[in-house]
Structures are given as C-alpha cells and as structure tokens.
C-alpha cells in the first residue's frame, strides 16, 4: 500500500510523512526530491531553466513511476501535483493508493511559508506577509477542489505531529 499525502506547500506533508513512515515501518518518498534526483536538478532550477510545463510533465511521469514501482511507502507530493494533468485520477483509481489531504488554514500556511519563501519558486517573488496571504488564499481557492477529493481529510491546525499521525492511523485501520 502507498499512503499519499497531498495538500498545499508548507502543510507538513514531508514532516508528517517521515514520521508516519517510521511508525508504520514503511519507506518514505518525497516526490519533489525524487524528481530532483532523477533530473539531477533542484525544483527551483528546473522551473527556472526548463519551465513549469516541462516540470509538470516530468512530475506526472515520475508519479506514475513511483506508484508502479513502490509499495509500503508514504509519499509526499508537491502542492500542485494532484492539480495538474491526470495525476489525481491516477491516484484515486489505483487500489494500492490511499490519499490523505493535510489541511492547514491559510493564516497558518502563510506564517509558516513566509520564512521559507526563497526556497519555493511559486512564492519567492512575494515580499510581504500580506501579499503571501492573498496569494495563498487565491491559490488554495483554485486547488481545494482537487485536495478535497482525497480519501481522507486531516485538519492539522493547532495539532502536534503525534496528533496528526494518530488521525491518519485511525483512518488507515
């Protein structure tokens, strides 16, 4: 089985995914790291040199590769992965995949992401917390229709990592 964590950037997919993998004795795979390794380039560099369309095509290719070659793995997707191409259908139609949407409120996302915006190509140009808050609000409005199709939604506001992991485990049982 693959447990695929989806949600907006900064929602904790990688952090929670690593700990969940330890609890379940599964492997952990961050799709962005996997793409970076396969392409021998960072995600920001791929966006900069080859563009978002190239990145999204490769993202779909590697998502399908991961699903077909891995088992007993927690997979953290990039925030946009389920929103492009046929990626969400690939996940939802696969009997070996369970999707969990890690849902964090916009104000908490904004606070968390403001500190690390330089490392994130989609928000690196935003200079104030107000601009970031507005951007995230609009972006989530566009993406939430995809995130809400996950098998499970885990609200993470004001919860510890342990509480979030317990919420996920309760749904997997």
Annotated binding residue at 80?
Answer: no
C-alpha closest to that of 6 among 141, 14, 53: 14
Annotated binding residue at 11?
Answer: yes
Q: Alpha helices, DSSP H only, in the chain?
A: 13-24, 31-39, 43-69, 87-92, 106-114, 129-147, 161-172
Annotated binding residue at 137?
Answer: no
Annotated binding residue at 13?
Answer: yes
Annotated binding residue at 51?
Answer: no
Annotated binding residue at 14?
Answer: yes
- Count of alpha carbons within 13 angstroms of residue 52, beta-carbon side: 8
Q: What does the alpha-carbon distance between residue 29 and residue 6 come to, in Å, rounded to a whole number?
A: 13
3-class secondary-structure state, position 99: strand
Annotated binding residue at 103?
Answer: no
Annotated binding residue at 78?
Answer: no
Q: Report the residue count for the chain.
A: 173
Annotated binding residue at 112?
Answer: no
Residue set of the binding site for Mg(2+):
14
Residue set of the binding site for ATP:
10-15, 120
Residue set of the binding site:
10-15, 32, 56, 79, 120, 143
Residue set of the binding site for substrate:
32, 56, 79, 143
């Amino acid at each position: 089985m693959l447990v695929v964590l989806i949600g907006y950037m900064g929602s904790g997919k990688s952090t929670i995914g690593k700990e969940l993998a330890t609890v379940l004795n599964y492997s952990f795979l961050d799709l962005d790291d996997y793409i970076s390794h396969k392409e021998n380039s960072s995600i920001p560099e791929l966006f900069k040199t080859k563009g978002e369309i190239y990145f999204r095509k490769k993202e779909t290719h590697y998502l399908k590769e991961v699903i077909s070659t891995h088992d007993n793995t927690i997979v953290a997707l990039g925030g946009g992965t389920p929103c492009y191409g046929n990626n969400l259908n690939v996940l939802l139609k696969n009997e070996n995949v369970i999707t969990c949407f890690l849902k964090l409120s916009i104000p908490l996302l904004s606070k968390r992401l403001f500190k690390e915006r330089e490392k994130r190509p989609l928000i690196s140009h935003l200079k104030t917390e107000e601009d970031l808050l507005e951007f995230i609000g609009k972006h989530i409005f566009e993406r939430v229709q995809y995130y809400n199709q996950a098998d499970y939604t885990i609200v993470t506001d004001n919860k510890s990592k342990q509480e979030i992991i317990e919420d996920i485990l309760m749904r997997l049982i």
